[in-house]
Amino acid sequence: MLPRFIRKSSLLACTAAVSMLAFGQAAQAVDLTVYTAVEAEDLARYAETFNKDHPDINIKWVRDSTGIVTAKLLAEKNNPQADVVWGLAATSLLLLKSEGMLEPYKPKGVEKLDKKFVDKGAVPTWVGMDAWVASICYNTVEAAKHNLEPPKTWRDLLKPMYKGHLIMPNPNSSGTGFLDVSSWLQMFGKEKGGWEFMDRLHKNIARYTHSGSKPCKLAAAGEIPIGISFAFRGAKSKAKGAPLEIIVPEEGVGWDMEATAIIAGTSKLEAAQTLVDWSITRTANEMYNTGYAVVAMPGVAKPVEHFPPNLLDKMIKNDFEFAANNRKAILAKWLERYDSKSEAK
């Protein structure tokens, strides 16, 4: 295994060196394969904005949901197809990092970013773009039919009146579901409190969905009065005319960030670095801001329509290291406790 890997990487290094010698610094159009989980409707805009500054780099997008992109990258571990990952959950990037799949690089201007958004390593392996934040999507029309009151806190959701009126994503298949669970553990107690909260919450949950955006869309469609999802999704559904209220629980909300990293072994390191440099510029951050209320560069974000105004203050101090290193154990425990809901009777 090891020798082959070494042979391969040295071969790649040679090829890179040769191509650099051959072409020098001349402006040569480069195709970069970029894996991403950014929403489909934003991709074209991202590439367009980037190409205004760097017309010589073509982005070849490979897009899918967070879980599938992560699975794909891990499956390709010994034969990476991607040059750059631009817009994938930081928790996923930490997993890739522990596999040694990311190339450390300190992008130009990284010091201008909020420290929360930069990998703590001496040479960072990833840099953040924006954050997506958990929220509750509350359908006012359906709630009124069932005489529900809007919850103010996470603990409010434990009240018996919400029984059967709640939906949340399954953390075993959804990144959003996991960030909820990890935030509850961090807020209410990693050993006991968090699990006690979830035990009681579980009694009120109608079912768990596979994807993180579905609870909010179901709430928007009136399938369920309350969906635990993320703010971005809620704002979009609200803009479409759904009778939604986006509630930010007072205790604080979990969040994850979309981040960028270079895949180790890429033959297009220079172009990859150019892209990562650009991905943290002011222009890029303004670009992220059209969809996300919270971006990596302080002072850039303008309020986004339909976003709850107090969202930023309610973001918890997320311990990504805890989340990443305990992910497996937390998910196994969650599966054991809650994943056979229909049999629990």
Q: Which is nearer to another protein, 92 or 285 (CB)?
A: 92
Residue 214 interacting with another protein (CB under 8 A):
yes
**168, 335, 336 from 342: Cα distances, Å:** 16, 13, 13
Q: Which is nearer to another protein, 17 or 335 (CB)?
A: 335
**Residues from 295 through 324 that contact another protein (CB under 8 A):** 320-321, 324
Residue 326 interacting with another protein (CB under 8 A):
yes
Q: Report the DSSP beta bridge partners of residue 85.
A: 35, 261
Residue 94 interacting with another protein (CB under 8 A):
yes
Q: Which is nearer to another protein, 186 or 285 (CB)?
A: 186
**Residues from 124 through 143 that contact another protein (CB under 8 A):** 141
The encoded tokens of residue 239 equal 């803009």
Residue 341 interacting with another protein (CB under 8 A):
yes
Residue 182 interacting with another protein (CB under 8 A):
no
Q: Which is nearer to another protein, 235 or 242 (CB)?
A: 242
Question: What is the Cα–Cα distance from 322 to 329, expressed in whole angstroms?
Answer: 11
Q: Report the DSSP beta bridge partners of residue 295.
A: 130
Pairing of strands 102-103, 255-263: antiparallel
Torsional sign, CA 199, 201, 205, 207:
negative
Q: Which is nearer to another protein, 302 or 345 (CB)?
A: 345
In this chain, which of 24, 160, 241, 299 binds another protein, going by CB under 8 A?
A: 241
Contact 166/204 with Cβ under 8 angstroms? yes
Q: Which is nearer to another protein, 140 or 281 (CB)?
A: 140
Going by C-alpha positions, the residue among 221, 192, 218, 195 that lies closest to residue 206 is 218
CA 196 to chain centre: 26
Residue 244 interacting with another protein (CB under 8 A):
no
Question: What is the Cα–Cα distance from 233 to 214, expressed in whole angstroms?
Answer: 9
Residue 245 interacting with another protein (CB under 8 A):
no
Contact 182/254 with Cβ under 8 angstroms? yes
In this chain, which of 67, 107, 194, 252 binds another protein, going by CB under 8 A?
A: 67
Question: What is the Cα–Cα distance from 343 to 338, expressed in whole angstroms?
Answer: 10
Going by C-alpha positions, the residue among 35, 88, 38 that lies closest to residue 61 is 35
In this chain, which of 32, 216, 226, 247 binds another protein, going by CB under 8 A?
A: 216
Residues found in the chain: 345
Binding segment (CB under 8 A) for another protein, from list 252-260, 282-290, 291-299, 325-333: 325-333
Placement of tokens 């897009």 in the chain = 63
Binding segment (CB under 8 A) for another protein, from list 20-28, 62-70, 265-273, 287-295: 62-70
Q: Which is nearer to another protein, 165 or 268 (CB)?
A: 165
Site mask, another protein, residues 140-179, x = CB under 8 A? -x----------------------------x-xxx-----
Binding segment (CB under 8 A) for another protein, from list 14-22, 218-226, 254-262, 286-294: 218-226
Residue 203 interacting with another protein (CB under 8 A):
no
Residue 106 interacting with another protein (CB under 8 A):
no
Question: What is the Cα–Cα distance from 179 to 336, expressed in whole angstroms?
Answer: 18
Question: What is the Cα–Cα distance from 72 to 58, expressed in whole angstroms?
Answer: 22
Residue 239 interacting with another protein (CB under 8 A):
no
**113, 173, 256, 337 from 298: Cα distances, Å:** 7, 32, 17, 40
Contact 314/131 with Cβ under 8 angstroms? no
In this chain, which of 19, 76, 116, 251 binds another protein, going by CB under 8 A?
A: 76
Binding site for another protein (CB under 8 A): 40-41, 61-65, 67-68, 70-71, 74-76, 78-79, 81, 94-95, 97-100, 119-121, 141, 170, 172-174, 206-211, 213-218, 220-224, 240-243, 320-321, 324-329, 331, 335-336, 339-343
